[in-house]
Amino acid sequence: MLQLTKRTEYGLLALVHLADREGAVASVREICERFPLPKRTVAEVLKDLQHAGLVDSIRGSSGGYTLARAPEQVTLGDVVRALEGAPPLTTCESPIVLKGGGCEVQPMCPIKSPIQRVRERLWQMLEHTTLRSLVSKGSHVSLGALGAVESN
Amino acid sequence: MLQLTKRTEYGLLALVHLADREGAVASVREICERFPLPKRTVAEVLKDLQHAGLVDSIRGSSGGYTLARAPEQVTLGDVVRALEGAPPLTTCESPIVLKGGGCEVQPMCPIKSPIQRVRERLWQMLEHTTLRSLVSKGSHVSLGALGAVESN
DNA sequence: GCAATTAGCACCTTTTGAGTGCGCTTTGGA
DNA sequence: TCCAAAGCGCACTCAAAAGGTGCTAATTGC
Ligand code: SF4
Ligand code: SF4
């Protein structure tokens, strides 16, 4: 449906909070105190982000999560890839397993190639949008992010 | 899920076929003879495209559809808008009715503005991808080799 | 009149997304 | 030592969306 899932939004908000904490651990409770989000679901999302290597987790009583990389090196694309799986855009080019035999139209599909081009460009856009640019949006507008995306 | 619906794909394929026909009427049956698609669903999609003003319909025995505009003036964005409704990308900025009271995070959301920027750029991308570019992209395969269409 | 075709609406089925239950593990601190 | 706070893992329910179909008109060339 050409729309980000709420899981992705939750992930982004959580990452923004972690970025604000600058390396300090932040628990799910702390995140949900800042943003009114369903705690359990956010926990699930953070867990997935941990599996994807975007955050590190600290267990135990005073545990929580920290950013695994600098905010400049985490992109919207990373988050989407971690939380929504593959970057398909079409049903034919799902990267790994195409169950059900794939699309019947494929051998004669005139739109496959151009749509893949659109997908690539979209993905480039996501890859060039860093967590840093999201964080700085809170206070002032970062024009640097726009310039980076504008490359075509 | 950041993916085009099958309805959109069907619509694009149908429009490509209509574009190949260069103003001649093409029925749903004809389209589904060229592409192995579920006839009824394609009919539903064409109907929606007609409502959106992208195609004209001719009823009756030898009826069908024709392009309402030149292929240069139909964009991927038009098709998506016609078949998937609004261009949300996030749940907060759905244009018309926001049922359920909208997002609770909104007053303090740090990612709303930057995500809207991404949405706008994505939309620009879709608006700049014309049906003409899809048609010419597909024609690296000669129509004669397809076997189904022989009258051009 | 007949057959082909679009129009309209409602319905069903499958898939996906969102959220929760429940028990376990880890760990710091009282 | 014990407990509370936090993450871990899995499976499960519930709701919404997407995909597809049934059925009955209305239109129109032959
Ligand atoms: S219709 Fe074309 S673009 Fe769509 S899934 Fe099939 S092969 Fe891919
Ligand atoms: S979290 Fe922010 S971007 Fe997402 S719907 Fe709410 S206000 Fe919009």
- pLDDT tens figures, B38-79: 999 999 999 999 999 999 999 999 999 999 999 999 999 999
CA distance B109 to chain A (A): 8
In a domain, B35, yes or no: yes
What pLDDT, on the 0 to 100 scale, is given for residue A135?
81
Do B103 and B26 form a contact (C-beta atoms < 8 A)?
no
Nearest to B129 among A13, A89, A118 (CB): A118
Enumerate the residues of chain A whose CB falls inside 8 A of the CB of residue B139: 110
* Chain B, nearest residue to A150 by Cα: B121
Nearest listed ligand to the Cα of residue A3: 2
The answer as to whether A52 is a domain residue is: yes
Give a yes or no: residue A103 inside a domain. yes
Q: What total of structural domains would you count in chain B?
A: 1
Asked if the structure places residue B147 within a domain, the reply is: no
Assess contact for A36 and A100: CB atoms under 8 A: no
Owner of token pair 């409770």: A29
CB atoms within 10 A of CB A140: 7
Q: Does B80 touch chain A (CB under 8 A)?
A: yes
Token duo for residue A138: 């809170």
Task: Render the burial of A103-136: b for 16+ CB within 10 Å, e for the rest.
Answer: bebeebbbbbebbeebbeebbebbbbbbbbbbbb
Say whether residue A39 is in contact with chain B using an 8 A CB cutoff.
no
Mean pLDDT (10-residue bins), chain A, 152 residues: 92 96 95 96 98 97 97 96 80 55 82 89 92 69 35 30
Tell me if chain A has a CB within 8 Å of the CB of B151. no
pLDDT at position B131 is: 95
The verdict on a CB contact (< 8 Å) between A2 and B108 is no
Q: What is the pLDDT of residue A96?
A: 45
Nearest CA in chain B to A111: B134
CATH code at position B58: 1.10.10.10
- The answer to whether the beta carbons of residues B80 and A118 sit under 8 Å apart is no
Report pLDDT for A18.
97
When the pLDDT of each residue in chain B is averaged and rounded to a whole number, the result is: 84
Structural domain range at position A66: 6-135
A142 part of a folded domain? no
Alpha carbons within 13 angstroms on the beta-carbon side of residue B100 total 6
For residue B66, give the H/E element and its range: strand B64-67
Whether residue A43 is contained in a domain is answered as yes
Terminal C-alpha separation, chain B? 39
Cβ contact (<8 Å) for A91 and B122? no
CB atoms near residue B117 (< 10 Å)? 17
Q: Are B79 and B123 in contact (CB under 8 A)?
A: no
Amino acid at B142: S
Amino acid code (one letter) for B62: S
* Alpha-carbon distance values, B28 to B11, B40, B60, B64, B68 (Å): 11, 8, 13, 7, 16
Q: Give dist(CA A15, CA A46) in Å, integer.
A: 9
Whether A2 sits inside 8 A of B111 (CB atoms) is no
Residues 6+ apart with CB under 8 A from B82: B11, B48, B49, B51, B52, B54
| Distance between Cα B103 and ligand 2 center (Å) | 6
Q: Domain for residue B68, yes or no?
A: yes
Q: Amino acid identity, residue A149?
A: V
What integer pLDDT is reported at residue A147 of this predicted model?
A: 33
Count of residues making up chain B: 152
Query: Residue B19 is inside which H or E element, if any?
Result: helix B6-21
Assess B108–A contact: CB distance below 8 Å, yes or no: yes
For residues B48 and B118, the model is more confident at B48
Q: Which of A37, A87, A149 sits opposite B121 (nearest CB)?
A: A149
The β-bridge partners of A55 are A67
Please tell me the residue having the least CA distance from ligand 1 atom 5. A92
Name residue, tokens 């507008």. A141
DSSP letter string, A76-107: HHHHHHHHH-S--SSSTT-SS--GGG--SSGG
**Amino acid at the residue A34:** R
Asked whether residue B82 is assigned to any structural domain, the reply reads: yes
pLDDT of residue B53: 97
Q: How many other C-beta atoms can be found within 10 angstroms of the C-beta atom of residue A8?
A: 22
> pTM to 2 decimals?
0.88
Q: What is the pLDDT of residue A94?
A: 59
